[in-house]
Each structure stands twice: as structure tokens, then as C-alpha cells.
Structure 1
Amino acid sequence: MNEQTQEAQRQAKPVAPKVKELIDRTQSVILATVDAEGNPNSSYAPFVEIDNRFYILVSFMARHTKNLAEGRKTSVMLIEDESATKQIYARERLTIEAIPSQIARDTDEWKTIASKLKERHGKIIDILDEMTDFIMIALNPVKGAYVNGFGSAYFVNENMEILEHRNDQNHQTK
């Protein structure tokens, strides 16, 4: 890539609303967790975002729930739907490192978040809310990356704000 193209990419830095738009149109997060022995597990969960935190309601029947409940670092990804992408290799995505924390059941905080989950995902939340094997987890972002095309990758902070271009080297050709 020539210098002019590289400079154009740096100047085309997306603004935070692009990240927010991806969050708003995505219904679930992809989770990467590890167990006590360091074994990886990938899964997903529907979410609601409130004040830059992602909240999920998950069952202990799922392997990832124990990993989350024990507070191990987690990676969370929101990614553009395959059917909507123009280029499968360049899907828009937000990947963040997060620290999970459990929300105490039957507290005002739990009730507020459950209400927001219900607004977003429907009446199923009323059913899940009554099941004692379900717990609510806050996924608290630490840092991450937002990608919206080839050579267009940016660091983001815990507030989902874009900080800087991730790689000034860009992709190299033979």
C-alpha cells in the first residue's frame, strides 16, 4: 500500500457511533472463556448493553457459565451478520477483553437489567428469570479492538471509544 492510501485510512478513522451502531444491531455476543485448567470454551449469549457494560442471563447447564461465575477473564465478540457482509474476510466486528461479575438475584439492579433484557429479547426473559440455574453476568470491558474492513482496525477503550489505528504497517503484498 502506498503512503497516500495509508494516510487516507488513518484519516478515515471511524467515530464511536459506528461502534454503538454495531452494538445496537447485534443481538448476541460470542463468548470465549477458560475453565480452571485453562481449557477454552466458546459459546454465545443474548445481551443487553447498558452504560458500556454487556449483561447476559446464562444457565449453569452451559459450560461457560461456571467460567464466567468464577470471574475469569473473558473475550467477547460482536460481529456483523454473515448475510449482511459485503466481504466475508472483512466482517465488521468488535472484540473486547472483559472481566465478568455476577449480579445478585432479586436486587434492584437485577430487576432493572432483566427489564432491559426483556425489552430487547422478549417475554422469554420472564421465564428464564424464574429459573434458579440462571444467573446474570455483567461483562465489564477492559480494552478491545474494532474492525470495519481491510487495514481498518482500531483499539478501543473500556467505554467503547476508538483510540487509535491498530497497525500502521497495514497488510503487505508480495
Structure 2
Amino acid sequence: MNHTHTEKKAKPVAPKVKELIDRTKSVILATVDAEGNPNSSYAPFVQVENTFYILVSFMAKHTKNLSEGRKTSVMFIEDESATKQIYARERLTLEAATSQIERDSETWNTVVTKLKEDHGKVVDVISEMGDFILIALQPIKGSYVNGFGSAYFVDANLEIIEHRNDVNHQSK
């Protein structure tokens, strides 16, 4: 059986990245603690301009890691039930800088209002709890994948900057 490999020539446009984010309600978080131990979790998010915001409780391990500004990675990923190929789920993975937003600041009020609009009345309750803090996740760089052979580097503005074709898969 002869298989011909055809390289994808089409470069996805930034709206594809935006569409994935728009279809996603929560972000997967990868954080590390002071000893370098990894922790994975998730949180509902909203996007305001080019920054993602999450309202998280200190009851969760990831909140301390995020609040102390350690290295963080976030991932937006296509729902398993919607994917055509489980090995090639559409996803955006970003390195992100974190910062805590001051309670009752203009940014806090704007973002909490948007969280309420997007995620419902539960935000009214949790935003008033003292252990919940608002964290900004500012993209640094990352990658966007939307199929086999279709992986791209993205910049801090979530714009696709180049095809990740530097590694070729080898047959056994």
C-alpha cells in the first residue's frame, strides 16, 4: 500500500484560535508549587481583550501557585465528544504570566460582571467570598493545533506566527 504524504499548505487564520476560545467555557491549568511539584486543574474563565481571567478559591491548590506568580500553562481544548480524531483534538496551549487583581478595582468589577454574564448567578455568591481571588492570565506564547500536521506557534496576541514543521514523524 502506497501512502503519499501531502503537507498542509493552508495556514489557519487567527479567527480559528478565537473560535476555539469562544467554544470553551473553562481553561485547563498546569501550575507548580514552591517545591516544583506539578498540579493540574481547571477553572471557568472570561476573556477581556487579550487577557483571560479566572475567579478561584484558596481552598484549591492551584490558587496559591497562581497567586505567587509561578510558571503557568493553560490549555483550551476541543470537547472529546465533538472531536473527529482523539489523537488530534483541536487545542491552544499557552505559557501565561499571572497576576492577582485587586478586589473592587475597576478591572475586578468589569471582569466579575462578565463572569456573571457568562457563567451565571453562582458568581454572585463566590465573588463575595473572601477566599476567592481574581487572577489574570496574560499569554506569553504558545501553540495551536487543529489536526495532524497542523500545528502552529502563536504569539502573545494569539496570532499564528509560523507552522511547527521542524519535527518530522518517522516510520518504524
- Report the TM range for the smaller structure's normalisation: over 0.9
TM-score (structure 2 length as normaliser): 0.95
**Separation of aligned partners in 2, 1:166 and 1:116:** 34
Equivalence for 1:151: 149
Deviation (angstroms), 1:23: 0.2
Deviation (angstroms), 1:51: 1.1
Equivalence for 2:32: 34
**Separation of aligned partners in 2, 1:170 and 1:152:** 12
**Separation of aligned partners in 2, 1:148 and 1:173:** 22
TM-score (structure 1 length as normaliser): 0.94
CA contact (8 A) 1:151 1:170 kept: no
Unaligned runs of at least 5 residues, structure 1: none
CA RMSD of aligned residues (A): 1.2
CA contact (8 A) 1:74 1:100 kept: yes
Equivalence for 1:89: 87
What is the SS of the residue equivalent to 1:145? strand
What is the SS of the residue equivalent to 1:130? coil
Residue 143 of structure 2 is aligned to residue 118 of structure 1: no
Runs of 4+ in 1 over 4 A off after TM superposition: none
The correspondence of residues 160-171 of structure 1 with structure 2, limited to 5 A, is 160-171=158-169
Residue 126 of structure 2 is aligned to residue 141 of structure 1: no
2:96 to 98, 106, 116: 98
What is the SS of the residue equivalent to 1:49? strand
Deviation (angstroms), 1:2: 5.6
**Separation of aligned partners in 2, 1:73 and 1:126:** 30
Equivalence for 2:68: 70
Equivalence for 2:59: 61
2:17 to 11, 19, 30: 19
CA contact (8 A) 1:144 1:155 kept: yes
Equivalence for 2:48: 50
What is the SS of the residue equivalent to 1:143? strand
**Separation of aligned partners in 2, 1:172 and 1:119:** 48
Deviation (angstroms), 1:171: 2.6
CA contact (8 A) 1:151 1:171 kept: no
**Separation of aligned partners in 2, 1:170 and 1:115:** 46
Equivalent pairs counted in the alignment come to 170
**Separation of aligned partners in 1, 2:130 and 2:13:** 41
